[in-house]
Amino acid sequence: MGTTDNSLSASVRVIDASRLEERTFAVLREAGADEPSAHAATRALMHASRIGVDSHGVRLVAHYAKALRGGRIKGAPHITVRRTGVSAALVDADDGLGHLAAYRAMEEACALARENGVGAVGVCRSSHYGAAGAYALAAAEMGLVGLTTTNADSIVALHDGVVPFHGTNPIAMAAPVLGERPWLLDMATSSVPMNRVHLYATLGRQLPENVAADQSGRPTTDASLAQMLIPLGGSEFGFKGAGLAGLVTILSAVLTGAAPDPAMLPMTGTNDFATPRNVGHFCIALDPDRFVGRATYDTLMSQYLLALRSSSAHSGTQSLAPGDREWMVEAERATTGIPVDLATAALLGFP
């Protein structure tokens, strides 16, 4: 997550963002999503496609449409929000699209933070919610610091493990910056995303060392043999990524009542598109006004980012803050259009 790979497909169709958004929304509606669900999913998918995280962009609409038609995901869920304390709430997503549930959860977390400084909201009975950064960004755009996590089905081995255990379990955080686009971090807790492995297999390229393992759990650079991922940190320091993945599982599943990673039905590679998966999410919002104060917060963030971007870097490179690259891609694609793989383009009505 969080890296652009324009070679995700050897052949792409470049489409204007407004037309792409319109057709994505229409396909979700045609698959059975009600207007709020389709709007939320389109918003999250377009966020990813605009900033270059194509693995979690509009290419996922085919999967969501299949899950909607199969009954795994409800097109018109009855989402409930229950406040359980002055700064806490739980959201029951009613097996709907995870995008709608996550946006609702972050909205509630922000409301709690406005009232009390901090808001923490868990989500259960949800589904895949795409790029985690979309929901953290929603908080930052309201002037708050946002953090979100989601667990996923087992595809990442433990440190020194030989079978999949955790999901890729992303962590995303966004913070507002006065006069600029937000600071935005969106990262998986695995060494690489699985779509990168699939890409390398298609291209016949070797993987980097210590990012994936074969069926027996041995590290492999042969993408065609990779059956699981290695945690962030690789074979030597993978305990760090595995620990972070566990942190995500505790927040997203244990605290919310969702299915822990090893108990969750797989997202893909199954013929069962009727059984809900009970994915869990967690959203936290922090109001700078209730901590150091807005003026001091804005000053310190600006000073911090100026120092970061001014930090010396290797020749031909520059020091970038999380989000800088994404906002550059967003600006470019606003002018040039968004590259979409041919299969997705055809599904969306762009032959």
* Alpha-carbon distances of 281 from 50, 120, 130, 271, 277, rounded to whole Å: 23, 11, 11, 25, 13
Candidates 288, 297, 281, 286; CA nearest to 87 is 286
The per-residue pLDDT for 6 is: 42
Report, in angstroms and rounded to the nearest whole number, the Rg of the chain calculated over CA atoms: 20
The per-residue pLDDT for 75 is: 98
The per-residue pLDDT for 10 is: 53
Ordered per-residue pLDDT tens for the chain, 351 residues: 333 444 444 578 999 999 999 999 999 999 999 999 999 999 999 999 999 999 899 999 999 999 999 999 999 999 999 999 999 999 999 999 999 999 999 999 999 999 999 999 999 999 999 999 999 999 999 999 999 999 999 999 999 999 999 999 999 999 999 999 999 999 999 998 787 787 688 778 899 999 999 999 999 999 999 999 999 999 899 999 999 999 999 999 999 999 999 999 999 889 999 999 999 999 999 999 999 999 999 999 999 999 999 999 999 999 999 999 999 999 999 999 999 999 999 999 998
Q: What pTM did the predictor assign?
A: 0.94
Which parts of the chain are beta strand (E)?
A: 12-15, 80-85, 88-92, 118-126, 145-150, 156-157, 164-166, 171-177, 180-187, 212-213, 228-229, 279-286, 338-341
Candidates 176, 107, 117, 111; CA nearest to 143 is 176
Position 291, amino acid: F
The Cα–Cα gap between 322 and 225 comes to 32
In 181-280, which residue ranges form alpha helices assigned H by DSSP? 194-203, 234-249
Q: Which domains does the chain have, with CATH numbers?
A: 12-191+230-294+324-347 (3.30.1370.60)
Q: Identify the bridge partners of residue 171 per DSSP, sorted by sequence position.
A: 149, 187
Tokens of 28: 């979700």
* List of residues 6+ apart from 261 with CB closer than 8 A: 151, 152, 153, 154, 165, 166, 167, 169, 245, 249, 253
Burial 87-102 (b: 16+ CB within 10 A, else e): bbbbbbbbbbbbbbbb
